[in-house]
Structure 1
Amino acid sequence: MSWDAEFTRHFDRSAAAMRFTAYLLCGNWHEAEDVVQAAYLKLYLAGPRMAHRDGVDAYLRRIVVRTFLGERRKARWRRERVTDELPEVGAPAQLSEDRVVLWRALDALPAKQRAVLVLRFWHDLGVDEVARSLRCTSGTVKSHTSRGLAALRRRLGADFAELWPEVSRNA
């Protein structure tokens, strides 16, 4: 199968999940679209050089997270512009109010903590897998996990366990 056909098949199968992952990271659908578009472009360009294509999903997820983190580093140096429009802060309409509250709290975390929590608890990756994805040590992943969950607990208070029970059990 040619790379173009393989890439198209992979895109059709995974684009929605990658957009949602990017949304969890960015908290903004427009920025998430930009991150995913950049990630798929990087994947497309790297594809012909890839020796093994069986790990494309993990590789793409790694590109999405790294693109998000790279954009956040660049954003510190950009100046904000005053506009007449309010920024988008919404979430998909079909989601419960609790999930929206949780995502807003997640959006308030520093970028690396958010990336670690999304990879650990949304994608259900282990500490070592997250460390490889982010090119850091397992200790750094554990530290970001602990700090991120503590910040969510402070922000959400007693509602934390109700809003995100799968994380509360594993924390």
Structure 2
Amino acid sequence: MSDLEPDFGAFVAARATSLLRVAYLTCGDETEAEDLLQTALERTYKNWDRVARYDNPDAYVRRVIINAVINRARRRAILNIIPMHSPPETSVRASDPDLFHVLMDALRTLPPRQRAVIVLRYWEDLSETQTAEVLGCAVGTVKSQTSKAMAKLRSALGRETLEGAIKDAHA
């Protein structure tokens, strides 16, 4: 066992649930989310000696997850495959399962980067600056992607439903 394994194991034990939630919300499929998290953790472990020194190793893992989701979506788009998976039986955070299913269906219609911005901003409660760091983009890009995504969600769900879903996500 290397010196890095205990620290990495503690990190995974403490953060796996939160990171799995990010993976699920960005891809919309429970099995794919588990695969994405496993891939992200493998990549993180390979670089753990460097990542462990970061102020926020979570941001590194989130970025690996988001990049993997976007890359998979690009590959699917090239192959003209549109994934439409059903969400798991229970919601991640929403107390109203019907509202959660409606929200997940609407999230799946967003492009991967817009979906990632919404998940990081509203489920993970990251600031615009933190979201920009995770995604490796400018704060202005986060703002514009959030604005576009919220407009699409409002159009699909209606303002009251969307606001209720966002409040529910923070519950």
TM-score range for the pair, normalised by the shorter chain length: 0.7 to 0.9
TM superposition shift of 1:164:
2.2
> How many pairs were matched up?
163
Q: Counterparts in 2 of 1:55-134, with a 5 A limit?
A: 55-78=56-79, 80=81, 88-93=85-90, 96-134=97-135
TM superposition shift of 1:57:
1.7
- Higher relative contact order by CA 8 Å / sep ≥ 6: 1 or 2? 2
Structure 1 runs (4+) deviating above 4 angstroms are none
Q: Counterparts in 2 of 1:149-168, with a 5 A limit?
A: 149-157=150-158, 158-165=160-167
TM superposition shift of 1:51:
6.5
Distance (whole Å) between structure 2 residues aligned to residue 88 and residue 106 of structure 1: 12
- Name stretches of at least 5 consecutive residues in structure 1 with no aligned partner: 81-85
- Partner deviation per Cα, 1:84-106 (whole Å, 9 max, x = no partner): xx963123325621111111111
Residues 103/36 of structure 1: CA separation in 2 closer, same or farther (3 Å cut) = same
- Partner deviation per Cα, 1:121-164 (whole Å, 9 max, x = no partner): 11111112211211211111111100101111110014222222
Tell me which residue corresponds to 1:83. none
Which amino acid in the other structure matches residue 130 of structure 2? E
Distance (whole Å) between structure 2 residues aligned to residue 67 and residue 46 of structure 1: 17
Q: Scaled by the length of structure 2, what TM-score is found?
A: 0.84
TM superposition shift of 1:62:
1.8
Distance (whole Å) between structure 2 residues aligned to residue 148 and residue 43 of structure 1: 29
Residues 114/87 of structure 1: CA separation in 2 closer, same or farther (3 Å cut) = closer
Distance (whole Å) between structure 1 residues aligned to residue 84 and residue 58 of structure 2: 31
Q: Counterparts in 2 of 1:10-21, with a 5 A limit?
A: 10-21=11-22
Look at both structures and tell me which one has the larger radius of gyration over its CA atoms: 1
Q: Scaled by the length of structure 1, what TM-score is found?
A: 0.84
Which amino acid in the other structure matches residue 100 of structure 1? H
TM superposition shift of 1:35:
0.9
- Partner deviation per Cα, 1:23-53 (whole Å, 9 max, x = no partner): 1001111111111111000000001244714
Which amino acid in the other structure matches residue 77 of structure 2? R
- State whether residues 40 and 60 of structure 1, in contact with CA within 8 Å, keep that contact through their aligned partners in structure 2: yes
Distance (whole Å) between structure 1 residues aligned to residue 164 and residue 51 of structure 2: 43
- Share of identical aligned residues, percent? 33
Which range is displaced more, 150-159 or 54-63? 54-63
TM superposition shift of 1:79:
5.3
- Partner deviation per Cα, 1:5-36 (whole Å, 9 max, x = no partner): 11111112211221111110011111111111
SS at match of 2:110: coil
SS at match of 1:77: helix
SS at match of 1:164: helix
Distance (whole Å) between structure 2 residues aligned to residue 55 and residue 93 of structure 1: 29
